[in-house]
Amino acid sequence: MSDADNLKRLAAAQALEYVRSGMKLGLGTGSTARHLVDLLALRMNDGLEVVGVPTSEATRAQAESLGIPLGTLDEHPVLDLCIDGADEVGPDLTLIKGGGGALLREKIVASAAKQMIVIADASKKVEVLGTFPLPIEVVDFGVASIRRGIDRAARAAGCHGLLTLRRRPDGHVFVTDQGHLILDAAYHSIANPTALAAELSTVPGVVEHGLFINLASRVILAGAGGVTVIDRA
């Protein structure tokens, strides 16, 4: 296991200290969340009892393969806890998420949870969001027009940068679990995430964006010096 994977696993293990039997638990998507699901299965073998609500089909398949009981948000509309990773973590725990392509379901699940814990390696903590391209999920109709709307919205919030249609490694267009496309916005610096989020939400054809504002209640960062836990003020 690489050093980065070791740190991700360390953060995931720390997050499981907040999980109690009987919880309805949102299960995140991505490389760090995969460690969480693996470790959760081990805890359940030792007697922990939870029901998981996955944020993607990939997480669903992993959890099912490990025997973790799963439900849906229709069955469990209020979750006790959601644990997920992040691509960037700002000083006020505003996040950029969606590198794995599951931002819509991730935001729905996080919004349904009483608490959201974010797990990441320490390199994801930044002073200003935006080095990681912001994922923006859009419908597959009129993408050129949607691009223009996003550009106008971003400029109104003081941002500008190249929009790139996400593709899979084989070159085909990436399609989300909900059948949408993703435009990755290279803004480099997002000085006012709240303003940008508000502007993007007005663009017809934008389904959701990867700015998670006031959702993370706790962030667990694992680095060379150990684990740091940051609670939202």
Q: Which residues contact 77 (CB under 8 A, 6 or more apart)?
A: 112
Beta strands in 51-172 (DSSP E): 51-54, 81-84, 88-89, 95-96, 116-121, 134-138, 162-165
Say which residue the tokens 């080095």 belong to. Answer: 131
Catalytic choice (57, 75, 88, 106):
106
**Ordered alpha helix ranges (H), 69-141:** 103-112
Answer yes or no: are the C-beta atoms of 73 and 109 closer than 8 Å. yes
Four-point Cα dihedral 80, 81, 82, 88, nearest 10: 140
Q: What is the DSSP code (8-state) at residue 16?
A: G
Distance of CA 32 to CAs 86, 156, 207, Å? 9, 34, 25
Instruction: Respond yes or no: is residue 64 known to be catalytic.
Output: no
Residue positions annotated with a catalytic role:
106
